[in-house]
Amino acid sequence: MAVLVALVVIVASFALFFQDDPSKDRETIYQVSTIDALMAGLYDGVVSIDELNDHGDTGLGTFDALDGEMVMLDGVCYQVLSDGHVEVASRKGTTPFAVVTFFDEDSSTDLVDVGNFSELLSAIGSELETENMVSVIVLEGTFSYVKARSVPAQQPPYLPLEEVIVEQTIFEFENVSGTIVGFYTPEYMAGMNVAGFHLHFISSDLSMGGHLLDVSFETAELGLDLTPSCLLFTPGTDAFLDLEGGGGDIDKVEH
């Protein structure tokens, strides 16, 4: 009996130890499914927004049935619908693909005179500490131009993302303040995640956003968070278990 009690005490103290050490989780990217699976048309939600929030306060993704673009910022999960309006996502809703983490800024710098998307990518690229680790990106400012897109909800049987993307709605905003949220992901993670940059946008008044396609601005504040660990949730669905091969040409859908 004494042994059993001692064992229980040890287990309890281990549990306390891990609860007291949140840094373990905070420096971890939590990802639902793979980009290849999403591109192949696996749009059924497999993790709830509620659970996603347990793993991060910042990130991006999409929703069950590909119903819009996800932007998670300051712990709130926003859903940019294909008609352009933004809602706080239901915590009971689900996601087929998302990437989140807790944003703990390691460094901050101003980016200036960025004229387009490729200039933005090289400006952020030159601030990265390394190309071999995931960096979380939070860029805040007033943007003279933002081009973003969202996608309409799909009906099963789902078509591959490359075919669905032709239905995307493109939004253009001028002089809008807001936040660009996303990730730099190393090339060696291609297939699992979007290699290179993947960025979403949400306006400060929470009225507009989407998957970022183009941007220009005079000054914006870039925060970066180098994140060394990654936790990948792979769905136990038949569609995922039986999936073969890659998902198609990623340049057509995410860039």
**Can you give the binding site for Zn ion, defined by CB under 5 A?**
211
Looking at beta carbons only, is 66 or 114 nearer to Zn ion? 66
Output the six-digit token pair for 74: 């300051």
Instruction: Give the residue among 203, 97, 197 at the shortest CA–CA distance from 143.
Output: 203
Looking at beta carbons only, is 224 or 250 nearer to Zn ion? 250
Looking at beta carbons only, is 56 or 109 nearer to Zn ion? 56
Count CB neighbours of 161 within 10 A.
Answer: 26
Q: Which residue is nearest to Zn ion (CB)?
A: 211
Looking at beta carbons only, is 25 or 121 nearer to Zn ion? 121
Q: How far is the CB of 62 from Zn ion (least distance, A)?
A: 7
CA dist., res. 71 & res. 86, Å (int): 10
Q: How far is the CB of 198 from Zn ion (least distance, A)?
A: 6
Looking at beta carbons only, is 60 or 114 nearer to Zn ion? 60
Torsion of CA 115, 117, 122, 123, to 10 degrees: 50
Q: How far is the CB of 176 from Zn ion (least distance, A)?
A: 18
Q: How far is the CB of 211 from Zn ion (least distance, A)?
A: 4
Instruction: Give the residue among 143, 148, 150 at the shortest CA–CA distance from 62.
Output: 150
CA dist., res. 113 & res. 144, Å (int): 10
148 phi and psi, to 5 degrees?
Answer: -135, 165
Q: How far is the CB of 165 from Zn ion (least distance, A)?
A: 11
